[in-house]
Chains A and B, each alone.
Chain A
Amino acid sequence: MSAHVPERVRREDEQLARERQKIARDGPKLKGAKLEARLERTWSRPRGIIGWLATVDHKEIGRRYIVTALLFLSLGGVLALAMRVQLAQPDNALISAQRYNELFTMHGSTMMFLFAVPVMEGVAVFIIPLMLGTRSTAFPRLNAFSYFMYLFGGLLLWGAFLLNIGPDIGWFAYTPLSGPQFSPGKRADIWAQMITFTEVSALAAAVVLVCTILKTRAPGMTLARMPLFAWAMLVVAVMIIFSMPAVALASSMLISDRLIGTNFYNAYEHGDALLWQHLFWFFGHPEVYIIFLPATGFVSVITETFCRRPVFAYPIVVLALISTGILAFGLWVHHMFATGLPRVGYSFYTSASMTVAIPTALQIFCWLATMWDGRPRFQVPMLYVVGFIVTFVIGGLSGVIIASVPLDLQLHDTYFIVAHFHYVLIGGAVFPLLGILTYWYPKITGRMMSDTLGKIGFWMILLGFQLTFFPMHFAGLLGMPRRVYTYPAGLGLELPNLLSSIGAFVVAAAVVLFVINGLFSLYRGAIAPSNPWGASTLEWAAASPPRPYNFAHIPVVESRTPLWDAEGELPVVTGLRVDEKEILLTTVVAATPDLREPVPAASLWPLIAAIAVGVLFVSSIFSPWAVVFGAIPSAIALTAWFWPKDLKRQPEPVIS
C-alpha cells in the first residue's frame, strides 16, 4: 500500500524536482563577483537596529563578546587599582572593610566570569568558523542567545554594585559565610544569579563550539590537520560542558538555602559547609584551564606564523591539551588542603597537581623548539609569546610549590597565591590574548594595529606586571593573608605592597595604551591585506574583514598548513545554495563532505528568550514563584524561536 502514491503528490514531487534543478549553487557557472554579490545578499542580516539585535552572524557576535569582555576587563582593572591604592600603605583608612570586600569580590567575579571565559569564547566564536573554512557556527541563534545571557549577567552584577547591593562574599562565596545566616540581604543572591547567567551562556557557547569544530570543518581538514587553536577550543568546550553543571548545581543549592530555607550547606541541620567547596572547586579548577588552554592555542598560532614553521610535535601538543583537560578534573582538592580532609588522600591530589605540569612543560618545549627550528620575527604578537613564556613559567613553577601539602599549608590563602595565579592567568592567558588580539585585529577590523604603540605597550605591561606581582610572593611569605583590607605596620609588608601598587598603575597605563592603539587603528591603521602576517591557516584566505558569507567557495584542505602548501589558489568544493544560507557539514574524524545544512535566518527570538529567562533569573532572587511564572514567557519565546518558517513543501528543506 505504501507503494501507491497519489497522482497529485507524484506530480508535485516532479515539480519540486524540476525546481530543485533551478536552485542557484556556487560552482563553475556561478563564481567571481556575481557569486559574491548573491552570497552577500543572502548572508547579510536585515539593516537597522532590529537587524543589529537579531543578527546570528558569528563575526558580529564574536566582536560583541570581545568588546564586552574588554569593557569588563577595564572595570575589573579599575577595582584592582582601587585595592592597590588602599594597600599601598599599612593601616590605610581610605576604603572601609565592607567596601574593600565588595571590591575584591567584584574584581574576582568580573575577571573570572565576565572577562576571562567570555573573551576566549568570543575570540573562538569569531575565528573558529573562519579557521575551519566554513560560513557560520553551528546553532547560530543559540550563539546569539549565549551572548545576551552573558551580557545580562554582567549587567546584573554591575548594576547591583552601582546600587550598593553588590556581593561582598568573595568570588568563591564560601558557605556558610554566603548563607542566609551570615549574609542577609540580597548581595549573595546577586552573585549566585550572575553565576547562573554566565553558566547558561558558557554552556550554550560550548555546545556551539563543539558542534562547529566537529561538524563544520572544511573537507579534508581531518582531526589530524586541525589547527591547534581549534583543538584547544574543542578541549575547552568539552571541559565547560563537564565542569559548569557542578557550579550551576552549587549556586542553585545556595540560592535555595537562602530563598526557601533548604539546608544543603548548614552544618547544624545535617548539611555540610564543605560540600560547597567540593562542588565549587570541581568547577573552579577546570575553570583555570578553561581560561589557560585557549591561550595555549593562541601561543601555538602565533609561534607557527612568526617562526614560519608548523608547531613542533603537533601530536604531542594535542595530547598535552587533552591530558591537561582530563587532569584538570582531578585537582580540585588542592584548593582545600587546609580543610582537614584525610592527609593520605591529599597525597593523591599533590601527585595529580604535579602531573599536570608535565603536559604544560612539554608544550613549552614544543613552542621553543619551533622557535629554534624557524627564524622568529619579533613583531608584537610574537613578543607577547616571549613575555608569556618568561612570565607563565614562573607561575607554573610556583604552582608546583603549592601543590605540596606541607608548603601549601603555609602559603594557602596568602599573597603568594595571589602572585601565583596572576602569573598564571595574566602571564598565561592575558599576554597571549593581547598578542592574539593584535594578530587577529586586521582580520576583525580590516586594519593593522600600530606596531610602535604595540611594542611600547608590550614592554610596559611586561615590566609593570613583574613589578606588581613579583613582590607579592614576598608579601605572602612574610605573612600577609589574602582578602585583607589592610595590614599592620612593622611586619615588613610595606615595601612589597608599595611596589605592587606602583606596578599596578604601570599595567593599567599599558592596558589604556592597548585600548588607545585599538581605537586609533580602527580609523587610522594601515589597510590590511587578507593575509598580512603570511600565516598558514584558512581564516587568512578570507577577506579582511571577512564578508558575511566568509568564503565564496568552501576551501578544501590537504595539509596542516593549507595556505603555505597551496600552489596558487586554494582548492574548493562547490554546490552550496546561494539563495538560502547553507553550510557544508563534514564527518567528525575524516572531514569528508556529509550534509548540506541550512543556517537559520536572523531572528529577534534569541534576544527575547534571553530577556524572558533573564527576568526569571532576576525575579527568582526575590521569590521562588518567579521560577513558575517566569517559565511561561520563556517557553513562549523558545516556541517562537523554533517555529518553522514555512509549512509548505519546498524543493529543499530550509529552516527559518
Chain B
Amino acid sequence: MTVDGRASVVPLALAASACSYQHYQSTFGNAATEARQFNILFVIFLVICAIMYLAVIAFLIASIARRRRAGEANTVEEGRHHVSNPLMRTGLISWGAVVGSGLVALTIASFIADRSMASAAANEKLSITVTGNQWWWDVEYNAGDSSKMVRTANEIHLPVGVPARIYLKSNDVIHSFWLPSLAGKQDLIPGRDTDITVVPRKVGIYRGQCAEFCGAEHAKMALVVDVDSYRDFIKWWQHQLQPAPAPTTPLAKAGYAFVTSRNCSVCHAIAGTPASGTVGPDLTHFASRRTIAAGAMPMSEGNLYGWVEDPQSIKPGSKMPTIGLEPNELHAVVAYLETLK
C-alpha cells in the first residue's frame, strides 16, 4: 500500500515533491477528524453566508436598476418623503427574521461541531507535551514509566486513528500550536496549561507553524507532523527510546568529543552521552528529523554545515550562537551529528 510505502521512505529524504505539499499545511488537509469537521462546518457557513451576500447584492442591483415612474423625478417629494414605503417595511421585518434565523442556525451548527470535536478525542490513547520556546518546539511523549518517555523536538509522530492529546506549555512568551491539515490551533501560554486533541485519519507528512506572534523569528517556528501507520509509529517510538549510537569513524569521534565537551552540550542533550543541556532541542536522534532549526531548512548535509557554522545568518536572533568553529571542528561536528539517526 502507498501508506506503508511512504512511511518506509528514509526519513532523511524530505518529502519535497509538489504533490506531497498539496495538503502539507492547509486547512483543506482533511487529515484528521478535527480538520474534517472544520471543513464540513466551513462549507455550511460559506453557503449560508453566500446566500445572504447574494440577497444583498440582488437588492442593491434592483434598487439601482428599478425603473422609476415619471413622477419620481430627481426632487424631494413634498409631504410624502417622511412616510416610509409599506413594501419596504414588510421587507425590513422579513430581512430581520431571515438574518436572525440564519444566524441562529449557524450558531447551533457551530455549537454542535464544537461539542463533537471536544468529545471526539475524549479518551486519548497517546499523551504528548509540547513546550514552546523562542523559536522551537520541545516534544515529550508522556508515559507512566519514565523509561518509556521519548523526547524530541520540532517533529511529532502520531499513529493514524489513535486519539492523541497534546498538552501545551510555554517556557517564554505566548506561542500558538497550529496544525492546519489536522486540527485547529491552541495557544501556549506561560503559567497556563492548555491542550489540543487530534485523531489523525490520513497517513502523511504535515507541517504546522506557530500562529501567535512570538518575536523576531516567529515566521521560522514550524514543526513537522508525521502521521504513521500504527506499526511504523511503534517502530519509530522504539527507535527513539534508544540512546544515541556511539560514533565509529575517527571524524565522528572527534565530533563527539567536541559536542560533549564544548559549547554544544551546555544547551543540548544527547541521551547516552554526557551532553545534557536543556536550553536547546534534544539532539539524540537529530539526524532522523526532517528539518533543521524548527523548519527553517530541510535536513541535509549541506544545510547542516550552514546551520552549525553560522546559525545567526540563517535565523537571526535565534538562541543558538555563532561560535566560530575551525574548519576541522566543523567537519567533525557535522560528521557526528549525522550519525544521530
A85 to chain B, nearest CB (A): 16
B341 to chain A, nearest CB (A): 25
Complex contacts, A491 vs chain B, CB 8 Å: 21, 24-26, 207
Complex contacts, A404 vs chain B, CB 8 Å: 41, 45, 106-107, 109-110, 113-114
If the complex has contacts A268-B191, A409-B185, are A397 and B52 also in contact, measured as CB distance less than 8 A? yes
Task: Decide: B88 and A372 in contact? CB cutoff 8 A.
Answer: yes
Task: Decide: A410 and B27 in contact? CB cutoff 8 A.
Answer: yes
A411 to B173, CA, bound (A): 21
Q: Write 24 A-B pairs (CB below 8 A) sorted by A numbering.
A: A174-B213, A182-B134, A182-B215, A274-B192, A316-B92, A338-B187, A340-B189, A347-B114, A362-B96, A366-B92, A368-B56, A368-B60, A398-B49, A400-B106, A404-B114, A410-B27, A411-B27, A479-B180, A484-B209, A485-B219, A487-B219, A491-B26, A492-B22, A561-B76
Task: Decide: A354 and B114 in contact? CB cutoff 8 A.
Answer: no
B216 at the interface (CB under 8 A from A): yes
If the complex has contacts A174-B213, A338-B176, A406-B114, are A397 and B53 also in contact, measured as CB distance less than 8 A? yes
Task: Decide: B216 and A97 in contact? CB cutoff 8 A.
Answer: yes
The residues of B with any CB-CB pair to A shorter than 8 Å are 16, 18, 21-22, 24-28, 35, 37-38, 41-42, 45-46, 49, 52-53, 56-57, 59-60, 62-64, 66, 68, 72-76, 81-82, 84-85, 88-89, 91-92, 95-96, 99-100, 103-104, 106-107, 109-111, 113-114, 117-118, 134, 168, 172-174, 176, 178, 180-181, 183-187, 189-195, 207, 209-220, 295, 316-317
Complex contacts, A155 vs chain B, CB 8 Å: none
> Which residue of B has the minimal Cβ distance to A372?
B63
Give the residue among B62, B66, B218 with the most A Cβ atoms within 10 A.
Answer: B218
A376 to B111, CA, bound (A): 42
A296 to chain B, nearest CB (A): 15
Say whether chain A's binding surface is mostly helix, strand, loop, or mixed: helix
Task: Decide: A479 and B173 in contact? CB cutoff 8 A.
Answer: no
Give the residue among B73, B92, B213 with the most A Cβ atoms within 10 A.
Answer: B213
Complex contacts, A358 vs chain B, CB 8 Å: 96, 99-100, 103
B226 to chain A, nearest CB (A): 17
A413 at the interface (CB under 8 A from B): yes
Say whether chain B's binding surface is mostly helix, strand, loop, or mixed: mixed
Task: Decide: A361 and B25 in contact? CB cutoff 8 A.
Answer: no
Q: Which of A74-82, A385-393, A520-528 participates in binding chain B? A: A385-393
Task: Decide: B60 and A482 in contact? CB cutoff 8 A.
Answer: no
Say which residue of B21, B194, B295 sits within 8 Å of A490 (CB atoms): B21
B301 to chain A, nearest CB (A): 20
Q: Which of A281-289, A306-314, A460-468, A542-550 participates in binding chain B? A: A306-314
Complex contacts, A339 vs chain B, CB 8 Å: 187, 189, 192, 194
List of 5 A-B pairs having minimum Cβ-Cβ separation, nearest first: A267-B191, A409-B184, A340-B194, A484-B219, A404-B110
A40 at the interface (CB under 8 A from B): no
B286 to chain A, nearest CB (A): 21
Considering only residues 367-410 of chain A, those with a C-beta below 8 Å from chain B are 368-369, 371-373, 375-377, 386, 389-390, 393-394, 397-398, 400-401, 403-410
Task: Decide: A273 and B95 in contact? CB cutoff 8 A.
Answer: no
The residues of A with any CB-CB pair to B shorter than 8 Å are 96-98, 101, 168, 170, 174, 176-177, 181-182, 267-268, 272-274, 308-310, 312-313, 316, 338-340, 343, 346-347, 350-351, 354-355, 357-358, 361-362, 364-366, 368-369, 371-373, 375-377, 386, 389-390, 393-394, 397-398, 400-401, 403-414, 476-479, 481-488, 490-492, 536, 559-561, 564
Say which residue of B16, B62, B68, B106 sits within 8 Å of A354 (CB atoms): B106
Complex contacts, B189 vs chain A, CB 8 Å: 267, 273-274, 339-340
> Which residue of A has the minimal Cβ distance to B35?
A410
Task: Decide: A340 and B187 in contact? CB cutoff 8 A.
Answer: yes
Task: Decide: A273 and B191 in contact? CB cutoff 8 A.
Answer: yes
> Which residue of B has the minimal Cβ distance to A101?
B216
A99 to B157, CA, bound (A): 35
Task: Decide: A407 and B219 in contact? CB cutoff 8 A.
Answer: no
Task: Decide: A351 and B88 in contact? CB cutoff 8 A.
Answer: no
If the complex has contacts A97-B317, A397-B49, A491-B26, are A481 and B209 also in contact, measured as CB distance less than 8 A? yes
If the complex has contacts A273-B191, A486-B219, are A407 and B110 also in contact, measured as CB distance less than 8 A? yes
Complex contacts, B91 vs chain A, CB 8 Å: 365, 369
Complex contacts, B52 vs chain A, CB 8 Å: 361, 393, 397
B281 to chain A, nearest CB (A): 20
Task: Decide: B194 and A406 in contact? CB cutoff 8 A.
Answer: no
> Which residue of A has the minimal Cβ distance to B24?
A491
A98 to B216, CA, bound (A): 5
Complex contacts, B76 vs chain A, CB 8 Å: 308-309, 536, 561, 564
B316 to chain A, nearest CB (A): 6
Task: Decide: A405 and B114 in contact? CB cutoff 8 A.
Answer: yes
Say which residue of B103, B174, B317 sits within 8 Å of A357 (CB atoms): B103
A649 to chain B, nearest CB (A): 50
Task: Decide: A478 and B25 in contact? CB cutoff 8 A.
Answer: yes
B132 to chain A, nearest CB (A): 12
Complex contacts, A309 vs chain B, CB 8 Å: 76, 81
Task: Decide: B38 and A406 in contact? CB cutoff 8 A.
Answer: yes
Task: Decide: A406 and B211 in contact? CB cutoff 8 A.
Answer: no
Say which residue of B57, B74, B89, B106 sits within 8 Å of A375 (CB atoms): B74
Task: Decide: A389 and B60 in contact? CB cutoff 8 A.
Answer: yes
If the complex has contacts A406-B117, A409-B186, are A98 and B316 also in contact, measured as CB distance less than 8 A? yes
A228 to B214, CA, bound (A): 43
B61 to chain A, nearest CB (A): 10
Task: Decide: B184 and A410 in contact? CB cutoff 8 A.
Answer: yes
Say which residue of B35, B88, B317 sits within 8 Å of A369 (CB atoms): B88
> Which residue of A has the minimal Cβ distance to B104?
A354
Complex contacts, A268 vs chain B, CB 8 Å: 190-191
A534 to chain B, nearest CB (A): 8
Task: Decide: B194 and A273 in contact? CB cutoff 8 A.
Answer: no
Complex contacts, B186 vs chain A, CB 8 Å: 338, 340, 409
Task: Decide: A350 and B103 in contact? CB cutoff 8 A.
Answer: no
Task: Decide: B111 and A350 in contact? CB cutoff 8 A.
Answer: yes
Complex contacts, B185 vs chain A, CB 8 Å: 338, 409-410, 412-413
Complex contacts, A398 vs chain B, CB 8 Å: 49
B22 to chain A, nearest CB (A): 8
Complex contacts, A308 vs chain B, CB 8 Å: 74-76, 81
Task: Decide: B16 and A413 in contact? CB cutoff 8 A.
Answer: no
If the complex has contacts A177-B213, A267-B191, are A407 and B45 also in contact, measured as CB distance less than 8 A? yes
Complex contacts, B18 vs chain A, CB 8 Å: 490
Complex contacts, B49 vs chain A, CB 8 Å: 397-398, 400-401
A486 to chain B, nearest CB (A): 6
Complex contacts, A413 vs chain B, CB 8 Å: 176, 178, 185, 211-213
Say which residue of A272, A476, A479, A486 sits within 8 Å of B191 (CB atoms): A272
A272 to B99, CA, bound (A): 39
A137 to chain B, nearest CB (A): 30
Task: Decide: B209 and A362 in contact? CB cutoff 8 A.
Answer: no
If the complex has contacts A338-B185, A343-B114, A412-B211, are A376 and B64 also in contact, measured as CB distance less than 8 A? yes
A485 to B214, CA, bound (A): 12
A414 to B210, CA, bound (A): 11
Complex contacts, B96 vs chain A, CB 8 Å: 358, 361-362, 365
A298 to chain B, nearest CB (A): 18
B160 to chain A, nearest CB (A): 21
If the complex has contacts A97-B217, A358-B96, A401-B46, are A407 and B85 also in contact, measured as CB distance less than 8 A? no
